[in-house]
């Protein structure tokens, strides 16, 4: 992501926050929970791969592709395996990273920021990639988690069909729970392939969403400090 696109001021962020709130109940796909059926995991992964493979082969066949071609014949299986084991593996709660807390022995109770976490997700309306950077901050209540755990939490929720607003909130809420603190902030700055490679074909615009809780919600100074850190030169 180019540096200038992450140079956000608080005003822009507030605009984005307001627009998320305005989406309200009318906007399809903005519920906090990923809409999953009760029986979502009654089938095991192997059966899911087998069935998706069958249906994907059918889609390719309907489009007129010759599935006996050497280059194409493995595609239905590859796609099915990629869906279940990789890009949508975050649907299954058994893949959720366990977050182990450590006591913060050096009593660091300032803001901790992890910025430029690369993530890849998929738009649930078109099933094409959403990709970008996540910036996360929290203020420790005496406990910390390993930094790689923050990356894993971001990746886990990204590996679902998503809308960016929900992804932002799911990461924020999970961090609150894992860290046992309300003082959490998350900013996602992402490109949507459904905007850049089709539709309006806009290759430059990125979408910014923010989640502020606790001190970050109450206190403009904390938000500004977070902004200052994520604007630092790389
Ligand atoms: Zn889309």
The total number of structural domains in the chain stands at 2
Q: How far, in Å, is the centroid of ligand 1 from the Cα of 233?
A: 31
In a domain, 6, yes or no: no
- Residue 120 sits in the same domain as residue 61: no
Residue 25: active-site member: no
Q: What is the CATH number of the domain that holds 76?
A: 1.10.286.10
Cβ atoms within 10 Å, residue 229: 15
Q: What is the CATH number of the domain that holds 160?
A: 3.30.1130.10
Instruction: Report the mean per-residue pLDDT for the chain.
Output: 87
Structural domain boundaries, residue 61: 45-87
- Residue 110 sits in the same domain as residue 194: yes
Give, in degrees to the nearest 5, the angle at Cα 209 between 205 and 211: 170
In a domain, 1, yes or no: no
- Residue 62 sits in the same domain as residue 124: no
Q: What pLDDT does 200 receive?
A: 84
In a domain, 93, yes or no: no
Residue 124: active-site member: yes
- Residue 56 sits in the same domain as residue 172: no
- Residue 133 sits in the same domain as residue 62: no
- Identify the domain boundary among 62, 87, 112: 87
pLDDT band at 27 (very low <50, low <70, confident <90, very high): very low
- Residue 61 sits in the same domain as residue 127: no
Residue 177: active-site member: no
- Residue 79 sits in the same domain as residue 189: no
Show Cβ contacts of residue 68 under 8 Å, excluding neighbours closer than 6 positions: none
Residue 170: active-site member: no
Q: Residues 206-221: what's their mean pLDDT?
A: 95
In a domain, 218, yes or no: yes
Among 50, 114, 124, 217, the active-site one is 124
- Identify the domain boundary among 60, 87, 114: 87
Q: How far, in Å, is the centroid of ligand 1 from the Cα of 49?
A: 24
Among 122, 123, 155, 165, the active-site one is 123
| DSSP-H helix ranges across the chain | 10-23, 45-62, 75-81, 147-158, 164-179, 193-196, 215-218, 220-230
Protein residues placing their CB within 5 Å of the ion ligand 1: 123, 125-126, 194
- Residue 223 sits in the same domain as residue 132: yes
Q: What pLDDT does 4 receive?
A: 37
In a domain, 16, yes or no: no
- Residue 223 sits in the same domain as residue 107: yes
Higher confidence at residue 144 or residue 93? 93
Tell me whether residue 135 is annotated as binding. no
Q: How far, in Å, is the centroid of ligand 1 from the Cα of 215?
A: 33
pLDDT at residue 159 is higher than 60 = yes
Q: For 32-78, give the DSSP string.
A: SS----TTTTSS-HHHHHHHHHHHHHHHHHHTT--TTSTTTTTHHHH
Tell me whether residue 123 is annotated as binding. yes
pLDDT at residue 198 is higher than 90 = no
- Residue 108 sits in the same domain as residue 64: no
- Residue 63 sits in the same domain as residue 152: no
- Residue 50 sits in the same domain as residue 131: no
Q: How far, in Å, is the centroid of ligand 1 from the Cα of 69?
A: 30
Tell me whether residue 126 is annotated as binding. yes
CA-CA distance, 180 to 144, in Å (whole number)?
A: 9
Among 114, 194, 217, 231, the active-site one is 194
In a domain, 94, yes or no: no
Residue 22: active-site member: no
**Dihedral of the CA atoms 204, 137, 32, 213 (nearest 10)?**
-120
């Amino acid at each position: 992501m180019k540096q200038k696109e992450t140079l956000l001021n608080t005003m822009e962020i507030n605009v984005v926050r307001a627009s998320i709130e305005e989406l309200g109940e009318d906007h399809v796909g903005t519920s906090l929970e990923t809409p999953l059926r009760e029986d979502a995991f009654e089938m095991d992964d192997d059966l899911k791969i087998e069935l998706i493979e069958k249906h994907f082969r059918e889609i390719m066949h309907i489009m007129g592709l010759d599935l006996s071609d050497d280059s194409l014949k493995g595609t239905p299986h590859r796609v099915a395996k990629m869906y279940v084991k990789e890009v949508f593996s975050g649907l299954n709660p058994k893949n959720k990273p366990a977050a182990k807390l450590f006591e913060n022995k050096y009593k660091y109770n300032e803001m901790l920021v992890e910025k430029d976490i690369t993530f890849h997700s998929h738009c649930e309306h078109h099933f094409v990639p959403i990709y970008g950077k996540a910036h996360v901050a929290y203020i420790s209540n005496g406990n910390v988690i390993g930094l790689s755990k923050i990356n894993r939490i971001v990746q886990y929720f990204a590996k679902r069909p998503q809308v960016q607003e929900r992804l932002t909130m799911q990461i924020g809420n999970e961090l609150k729970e894992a860290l046992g603190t309300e003082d959490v902030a998350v900013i996602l700055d992402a490109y949507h392939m459904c905007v850049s490679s089709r539709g309006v074909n806009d290759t430059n615009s990125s979408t910014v969403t923010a989640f502020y809780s606790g001190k970050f919600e109450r206190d403009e100074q904390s938000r500004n400090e977070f902004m200052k850190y994520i604007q630092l030169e790389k």
